[in-house]
Amino acid sequence: MARIIGGIATSHSPTIAFAQDAHKENDPAWAPIFEGFGPVKKWLAEKKPDVLFYIYNDHITSFFFDHYSHFALGIGEEYPPADEGGGVRHIPTIKGHPKLAEHIAFGLVADEFDLSYFQGKGMDHGAFSPLSMMMKHEGEWEYPIVPLQVGVLEVPVPSAKRCYKLGQSLRKAIMSYPEDLKVVIVSTGGLSHQVHGERSGYNNEPWDRQFLDMITDDPVRLSEITIADYVRLGGQEGAEVIMWLIMRGALSANVKKVHQSYYLPTMTGLATLVLEDQSIDPPADTLDAIRDHMLAQYKGIDKLEGNYPYTVSRMAKSFRVNTFLHALIKPEHRRRFKEDLEGLFTEWKLTEEERKMIRNHEWQNMIHYGVCFFMLEKMGAVIGTSNLHIYAAMAGKPIEEFLKTRNAPGALYSVAAEVPKKFTTAEDSQHDVPEAVVAK
């Protein structure tokens, strides 16, 4: 079983990354930042976790206001640093852990936390600013992560209590993971600061220090504080410290504090905190009950033949080819798809298996591979193939036989904006289709 060995909480101000990238460790104004992270890095090196569950918020870099959710779980195989407007930091891409992410997703959703899932997105200073201070990353990062992006910028945001309860659910999910993993929970954000409006520059050091004591000893009381009071005490942007409650909720009730630091150099109170979990392993039947609860909604679904749910692990595996086909919503990509398919394959670095399936219209094989049907529908619209031809191929039947099973056997359609003439009459249902379309 997986074990939560401890939690780390840290500020994520871009000043942290600046101090590191500018080599300010010997500058008296910046040295306290390095001193605060030194024990964190040492603790991680001693404990050697297998994975970090990493809680942060994006600063409208990869998550824009066109789709902004409360809890976005990273399910991808890797996460690059994001360009925040001034170029990309010279740090490597960090690996993810899709298998653990999927297990956690089942656990949180079973406890009625509504998640969105992401991959293929860069992470900004909210993640990488403190992360690059915590562990070695020359060439590659020491540990993979499962990131959770929390939407704390567009009001209404999750409550402090909601974050604490999510942490408690997260604990059950991780501890019920069947493989032996050592997991550290990391939360970022804060402490007091405000960076907009007439209140810009607001700080509250007494509140910061009180918060550091309470997150260790009285997290339940912190979970009862309103967002308005978090803003009043710590600034509008400083209210992001509610993310620390996810980490604290995932730990045992009693914890051991092994490190704490605080420094207010400029706009943000910078803090680090390391807590060690003090719980004993739960009995096996308790873990079995948690797993049964997590999968209750899906019991028996694996027994259905010819059914392939779009699980987060399948979507992580097939993300590249799904992204390639999704890009068919863009006119220039459609043009290249029809005029220079092989060149497009090369640019997107598709594998030979992926190229063959698309080139030969192997609809069923693409489904088996993890391609979402609605990507096939888009491809069909581009190449002039009706949805019914795709359905027939997946059912393993010639189009003529498949149409006889429909109540309106002459109805052919696709999502193409311009209706092809060959789809408009029953007689046209007999038109030729490439041999590869019919599944063998």
**CA nearest neighbour of 276 among 290, 256, 295:** 256
At residue 286, the 3 state secondary structure works out as helix
- Dist. CA 336–CA 435, nearest whole Å: 23
Residue type, position 284, single letter = A
Give the three-class secondary structure for 292: helix
Q: What is the spatial distance between Cα 225 and Cα 415, in angstroms, rounded to a whole number? A: 50
- Which residues contact residue 100 at a Cβ distance below 8 angstroms, ignoring those fewer than 6 apart? 2, 51, 146, 174, 177, 181, 183
Buried b (16+ CB within 10 A) or exposed e, 300-326: eeeeeeeeeeebbbbbbebbebbebbe
Q: How many CB atoms lie within 10 A of CB 187?
A: 31
Map residue 381 onto helix, strand or coil. Answer: helix
How far is Cα 360 from Cα 440, in angstroms, rounded to an integer?
13
The catalytic residue positions are 125, 193
Task: Give which of 99, 4, 96 is closest to 47, Cα–Cα.
Answer: 4
Q: Phi and psi at residue 190, in whole multiples of 5°? A: 75, -170
Q: Pick from 138, 135, 51: which is nearest to 91 by CA?
A: 138
Query: 287: which 2 tokens?
Result: 């873990």
* Contacting residues for 111 by C-beta, under 8 A, at least 6 apart: 169, 172
**String of DSSP letters for 212-279:** HHHHHH-HHHHHTS-HHHHHHHH-TGGGGGGGHHHHHHTS-SSEEEEEEEEE--SSS-EEEEEEEE-P
CA-CA distance, 51 to 215, in Å (whole number)? 23
Greatest extent of the chain over all pairs of C-alpha atoms, in Å: 83
